[in-house]
Each structure stands twice: as structure tokens, then as C-alpha cells.
Amino acid sequence: MRALVRRRLGAARGLRDDRGVSILEFAGFLPILLVIGMAAIQLGLIGYGINQAGSGARAAARVQSQGGDGTAAGQAAVSGWLSPNVTPDEGSDLTTATVQVTVPGVIPLLGPYTVTRQATMPNDIDD
């Protein structure tokens, strides 16, 4: 009988030794989860920057091809925190606008990222 009680007590002591292991495993895995989450946010920001640069380039090329101020139109079409750099280039038949934006880095030691997009429109000015 005493041997049976000792086995049960030994098994109970073994269970007590495993207490807290799951929190240690979670604490070890948490930094990996945080890096994956921050990388997903960074990819989303880069995608947003690409979208904004493309919209700004199309707006700048469209307005410049019609004789307006393409630089102002391109800057107005892009979110200000991306600090857009708009460069319209008007040729004889076509106008090309280039927009360069700076996407901030979320992960330390990586970034900022520079995204560039171009758009070309035909000139609508009658000569």
C-alpha cells in the first residue's frame, strides 16, 4: 500500500515540475510573433506607398499634359507624411511624371524605403 502511495506522490511531484513550462515556451516564441507582425505591417505600408506614388504620378502627368501645374497636382494626390518628390517631364507629344515617396521603416535597423512610380499621358495642348 505504501508503495502505491509513493508512486502517486511521485507522479504528482512530476506534474509540479512541469508547471510554468508553457509560459516559458510562449515567452520564447513571442519575439518571433512580434517580428512577423511587424513585417506584415511593413509590407502593408510599402504597398500603400506604391499605391500613393502611382496615383500621384497619374495626377501629375494628367494635369501637366493639359497645361497645368503637375507638381502641385501630384503632391496633392499623395499623403503628406510620405513626403512626395514629384518631377513632371513634358515632351512634344507625351508628358511623363515621376513620383518618389519615402516609406518609413517599422522594424528597427531596416528602412526607410524609397518607392518610385512613373505615368505617361499624351499632351492635349493644341499647337
pLDDT at 15: 55
Helix (H/G/I), strand (E/B), else coil: 8: helix
CA 110 to chain centre: 12
pLDDT at 11: 57
Q: What is the pLDDT of residues 88-102, one digit of tens each?
A: 999 889 999 999 999
Would you list the DSSP string of 38-69? HHHHHHHHHHHHHHHHHHHHHHHHHHHHTTS-
pLDDT at 79: 95
What is the chain's length?
127
Q: Which are the contacts of 121, defined by CB distance < 8 A and separation ≥ 6?
A: 58, 61, 62, 64, 65, 94, 95, 97
Q: What is the pTM of this model?
A: 0.78
Looking at the predicted structure, is the pLDDT value of residue 5 above 60?
no
What mean pLDDT do residues 5-24 have? 68
Looking at the predicted structure, is the pLDDT value of residue 108 above 60?
yes
Q: How far apart are the first and last CA of the chain?
A: 110
Q: What is the pLDDT of residues 40-71, one digit of tens each?
A: 999 999 999 999 999 999 999 999 999 999 99
